[in-house]
Amino acid sequence: MNQDIIIPSHIAIIMDGNGRWAKSRNFSRIAGHKAGVKTTRKIMEACIKLKVKYLTLYTFSTENWQRPIEEVDNLMTLMRYYLKNEANSLHKNNIKVEVIGNIKKLDEDLQQNIHDLMELTKNNDQMHLVLAVSYSSREEIVESAKKIAQDYKDGKVDINDITTKVFSDYLYTKDIPDPDLLIRTSGELRISNFLIWQMAYTEFYFTKTLWPDFTKKDLNLAIEEFNKRERRYGQ
């Protein structure tokens, strides 16, 4: 990649297409998700080398709970395996892991795995990996509004002090900068209830490539496209 290329500080990815990838090969859907995990590992490694500071991955949405029970169970099993088996590697590579979303919907052992991983990596600073799990942006915004309303009721905040910055501090992503670049794979052209508030000025990049087929080359193409954009923030 050209040395003059600006690397986005924060990249968010909607990792879409595992099921279609599997179907096109007459594989089970879980085989597609396993292939997707392998891609996730490769892209994480590529982002580390590029010195991306924040990488946010849309791992499991609240809408995904509506999928067939067998598929959800398989996804939870895969998540358990990943959290346990990748924990030492993530820590060794100095990656800080944070999970955003309503994780109370997860089984208690999985919640504990998440807390253990965040605790293990909390002081790391090579890259900040944010996993959106059981995540809904609309739910996040509603819950933030409820917290502000409660703090107003308790006299902790004055209504005239509520600004966009103050509101942002009530979101899951407090202290995490907004994404510079969103990548969505599989050809879908929507954000699917993902970081609605945070992506007000994010640059979007859509590719027809299915997530298991997404490579470092594809990542570089997205970053090169990002560099062609003029970010004026409405000015």
Any idea which residues carry the catalytic annotation? 16, 64
The answer to whether 234 and 212 are in contact (CB under 8 A) is no
CA 97 to chain centre: 11
Task: For residue 47, give both structure tokens.
Answer: 């982002």
- Give the three-state DSSP class for 57: strand
- Return d(Cα 59, Cα 99) in angstroms, integer: 10
Q: Which string of DSSP letters, residue by residue, matches 113-177?
A: HHHHHHHHHTT--SEEEEEEEEE-HHHHHHHHHHHHHHHHHTTSS-GGG--HHHHHTTSTTTTSP
